[in-house]
Amino acid sequence: MTRDPKRVKPLLICLLGPTASGKTDLAIELAAARDCELVSVDSALVYRGLDIGSAKPDYPHHLVDIRDPAEVYSAADFAADAHRLAAEISARGRTPLLVGGTMLYFRAFLQGLAEMPPADPAARAAIEAEAARLGWPAIHAQLAAVDPQAAERIHPRHSQRLARALEVYRTSGIGISEWQRRGGAHPPPAERYRIVQLAICPAERALLHERIALRFEQMMRAGFLDEVRALRDRGDLHPGLPAMRAVGYRQLWQHLEGGLELDAAVLQGIAATRQLAKRQLTWLRKWPDLRWICTERDGKA
């Protein structure tokens, strides 16, 4: 019995991995081999002006440079954009290839996110003012009193997630954990696509750390500090914005504010990038249906 080609689902590729693992280079190779269009899954690449510090690629990607750094781009925004782009790319007879390291974006696309109350700038500003006065652990304690499940998942110093969780409760009267249990706005993409999930990472953790340090040093030589200075000089940005909390940016911003010597800021930026890679690998170890690609020092699998 032959398979009806009309019933074969179109292919969709997800390429995940920690920062500095070689995702972009592999994605470009796959794009040529499989006639793919690349969709960036990176919470820094969405912002215009964050070029050097985000290692913005030259090769065309969707969802790059689509927001001003003063704006917020959420996982829900990404999921909606990715569903739309995947359908458009498939309709053109090409293969969508989602590539990046923002695991929450991947999860939002593949598993869905519950519909949430919209952002409330006034409520968020009030929470941030309280945090400035009392400290983020106090905000965490407030969240624990109204949504203990969310508080258990969120670190007491993860300011962005804490603020959003408490904002959701204050504006809706319902905890973010309950909203998340209520289901997502889009059908799971597995209903429409044949999904192949790949994860790339150096075989040795020490090699990944070397790559992170080398790339940060290269970014500094390429003018990373001047890039952060130009963003700060705009006057409408501040360290609390999601764009300015990206690793490297917040450490160099702190240097420009007089809080860190430049050498210390660079070392802290490298350390923060390594911590990011560690968190990404923690996500990936629990990720279902992954095919791993382990690379050696010469970059070969």
Please state, in angstroms and rounded to a whole number, the distance separating the CA atoms of residues 108 and 110: 6
Closest residue by Cα to residue 272 from 247, 254, 250? 247
Number of H helices, E strands in the chain: 12, 5
Q: What pLDDT shows up at residue 95?
A: 98
How many angstroms separate the CA atoms of 73 and 108, rounded? 13
What pLDDT was estimated at residue 64?
98
Q: What's the rounded Cα separation, in Å, for the pair 224 and 142?
A: 38
For residue 140, which phi and psi values (nearest 5 degrees)? -60, -40
pLDDT reported for residue 112: 81
- Reading the block at residue 280, the tokens are 């990404």
pLDDT reported for residue 149: 86
Are 184 and 114 in contact, with CB atoms under 8 Å apart?
Answer: yes
- What residue ranges in 107-213 does DSSP mark as E strands? 194-202
Please say whether the dihedral angle defined by the alpha carbons of residues 7, 94, 104 and 84, taken in this order, is positive or negative. Answer: negative
Among the listed residues 149, 147, 148, 77, the one whose alpha carbon sits nearest the alpha carbon of residue 115: 77
Q: Where are the beta strands (DSSP E) in 169-258?
A: 194-202
Q: In what order do the strands lie in the sheet with 290-295?
A: 36-41, 95-100, 11-16, 194-202, 290-295
pLDDT band for position 4 (cuts 50, 70, 90): low
3-state DSSP assignment of residue 28: helix
Distance CA 217, CA 153 (A): 34
Q: Which amino acid is at 29?
A: E
* Cross-strand partners of 197: 14, 290
Asked if residues 42 and 100 have their Cβ atoms less than 8 Å apart, the reply is yes
Residues 35-71 pLDDT 10s: 999 999 999 999 999 999 999 999 999 999 999 999 8
CA distance 75 to 43: 9
- pLDDT higher than 80, residue 97: yes
Please name the helix (run of DSSP H) or strand (run of DSSP E) that holds residue 292, with its range, or none: strand 290-295
Task: Specify the pLDDT at position 73.
Answer: 84
- The Cα–Cα gap between 172 and 241 comes to 23
The pTM for the full model equals 0.79
* Alpha carbon distance 182, 113 (integer Å): 9
pLDDT on residue 213? 97
